[in-house]
Amino acid sequence: MPRPKIEDAEERLLSAGLNLFARLGTERVNTNAIARRARLGIGTFYSHFTDKYALLREIQLRTLAGIRVARLDALARASEQTALQVRRSAQAVVQFARSHPEAYRVTFGRERAGASRHGPVVSESSRPMAEALARLQAAGRIDAALDPELAARAYSSMEIGTLLWWLEDPGRAQEAALVDTLARMHPAVSGGV
């Protein structure tokens, strides 16, 4: 009898899931709670997602896409200068995290139990960055002894870990200081010859 309104049920579910995941953690949220918060029947949940982790995956994919776009936008507007590009890129991510803290936490946070159930969405691919570092190395712009892949990997972990820590309490650091620290510790900057 109900049938509330033929609306964006899927969006409602994604939004409800994001909020609950961020507040309670993936494991402490169940499908019934997501459907209830979306003001939809539990059956509706299952006609849109196969399970809780499918919804989580969709949230993560959207977040990763958002970050990619933000980063590319920033780079497009920045000059060719490496140090500036690094800074702009860091700035873009920090801004994204500040604007979408729930999405960032849900996507990168600890307690990603879903990963072990349905394979990781976030492979934390640092491939593009590794390639960029390799190019800089080839151009003699950074220390030849640096391992590009390891360095890229290390930087990614640093960025994610630091942002998650910051989001727990944004009062912990000024946004500008955060960007500065990330940029300084970026291998393309610190590793300069």
**Interface with a copy of itself, residue 95, by CB under 8 A:** no
For DNA (CB under 7 A), the number of binding residues is 25
Write down the least CB distance from residue 60 to DNA, Å.
17
**Interface with a copy of itself, residue 157, by CB under 8 A:** yes
d(CA 34, CA 51) in angstroms, rounded, equals 11
For 29: left if phi > 0, alpha if psi spans -120 to 50, otherwise beta; the answer is beta
Which of a copy of itself, DNA, none does residue 151 bind (CB under 5 to 8 Å by kind)? a copy of itself
- Output 76 or 144, the one with its CB closest to a copy of itself: 144
**Interface with a copy of itself, residue 15, by CB under 8 A:** no
155-174 mask for DNA (x: CB under 7 A)?
Answer: --------------------
Which of DNA, a copy of itself, none does residue 173 bind (CB under 5 to 8 Å by kind)? a copy of itself
Could you tell me if 161 and 135 are in contact, meaning their C-beta atoms sit under 8 angstroms apart? no
DSSP secondary structure code for residue 38 in this structure: T
d(CA 54, CA 68) in angstroms, rounded, equals 21
Write down the least CB distance from residue 134 to a copy of itself, Å.
14
By residue count, the chain amounts to 193
Q: What DSSP letter does each residue of 116-180 carry, written as one string?
A: HHH--S-----HHHHHHHHHHHHTT-B-TTS-HHHHHHHHHHHHHHHHHHHHH-GGGS-HHHHHH
Binding residues among 41-70 for DNA as defined by CB under 7 A: 41-48, 50-52
Could you tell me if 146 and 191 are in contact, meaning their C-beta atoms sit under 8 angstroms apart? yes
| Interacting residues toward DNA by CB under 7 A | 1-7, 9, 28, 30-32, 39-48, 50-52
**Under the rule (CB under 8 A), what is the footprint of a copy of itself?**
24-28, 110-113, 115-117, 124, 143, 145-147, 149-151, 153-158, 160-162, 165, 172-173, 177-178, 180-182, 184-185, 187, 190-191
